[in-house]
């Protein structure tokens, strides 16, 4: 296994994040305030880098919370079984909530999370994902804000991992097998 060239450079990521932040700020400007900020819920650990950049580009009041779920072990395939490892600290009833995801692949994790969040009565619920692999979708789940659609390859960097490695890479790279192109 080796890492391919950058699929998304630092500059392309920064432009994508800034565009998402402008769109979200415009959509929520009249709905949130200092007293009732937009609640960004980052899905650990992959969304951490994206979320920290996104929140600094938003021009509306925000507060943060995190949730840790697990759907993968050391494998690159979703099991479809989502376990909550760490739940929210804040109640989300009557709050405007955006779930922040690194990437949507099969959509199974997000489908579970949307149902779970909806049952807690937020004022509104949307999802922002930096990356989307539409070809891989098996759950019919809404993602209101998508940074970039990418091909069906396994990618790492900018928070995304392969077996907990490579989250620190500043750009997004494809994981290649040693025969040549494509995913592991
Ligand atoms: P899904 O349930 O199949 O949509 O998978 C969602 C989660 O799997 C994402 O939040 C990521 O943590 C992880 N994931 C999916 N595709 C990739 C990838 O290409 N690289 C790294 N992590 C991925
Ligand atoms: Mg994730």
Q: Summarize pLDDT for 127-176 with one digit per residue, the tens.
A: 999 999 999 899 999 999 999 999 999 999 999 999 999 999 999 999 99
For a mutational test of ligand 1's pocket, the pick from 102, 111, 143, i.e. the residue with the most ligand atoms closer than 8 A to its C-beta, is 102
H or E stretch at 98 = strand 96-104
* Domain residue limits at 28: 10-151
Q: Which ligand is nearest to the CA of 169?
A: 1
Position 156 in a domain: no
Q: Which ligand is nearest to the CA of 157?
A: 1
Position 180 in a domain: no
Query: Would you say 14 and 179 are in contact if contact means Cβ atoms under 8 Å apart?
Result: no
Candidate list 26, 87, 89, 105, residue with the active-site label: 105
Output DSSP code: residue 91: -
The number of CA neighbours under 13 Å toward the Cβ of 62 is 23
Position 172 in a domain: no
For the chain, the domain total comes to: 1
Which residues, by Cβ under 5 Å, contact ligand 2, an ion? 46
Position 33 in a domain: yes
Output DSSP code: residue 183: -
Mean pLDDT of 33-55: 97
Position 20 in a domain: yes
CA of 53 to the centre of ligand 2 (A): 16
DSSP letter string, 121-138: --SEEEEEEEEE-GGG--
pTM above 0.85, yes or no: yes
CATH number of the CATH domain containing 141: 3.40.50.2020
Position 39 in a domain: yes
105 is catalytic: yes
Position 184 in a domain: no
Position 5 in a domain: no
Please tell me the predicted confidence (pLDDT) of residue 76. Answer: 57
Of 183, 169, 8, 12, which is closest to residue 105 (Cα–Cα)?
A: 183
């Amino acid at each position: 296994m080796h890492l391919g060239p950058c699929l998304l450079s630092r500059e392309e990521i920064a432009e994508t994040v800034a565009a998402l932040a402008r769109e979200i700020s415009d959509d929520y400007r009249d709905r949130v305030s200092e007293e009732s900020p937009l609640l960004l819920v980052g899905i650990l650990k992959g969304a951490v880098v994206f979320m920290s950049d996104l929140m600094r580009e938003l021009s509306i009041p925000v507060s943060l919370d995190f949730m840790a779920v697990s759907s993968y072990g050391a494998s690159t395939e979703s099991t479809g079984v989502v376990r909550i490892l760490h739940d929210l600290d804040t109640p989300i009833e009557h709050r405007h909530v955006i779930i922040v995801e690194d990437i949507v692949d099969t959509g199974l994790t997000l489908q579970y999370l949307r149902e779970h969040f909806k049952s807690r009565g937020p004022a509104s619920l949307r999802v922002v994902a930096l990356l989307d692999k539409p070809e891989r979708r098996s759950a019919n789940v809404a993602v209101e804000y998508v940074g970039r659609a990418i091909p069906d390859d396994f990618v790492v960097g900018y928070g995304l991992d392969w077996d907990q490695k490579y989250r620190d890479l500043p750009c997004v790279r494809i994981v290649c097998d040693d025969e040549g192109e494509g995913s592991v």
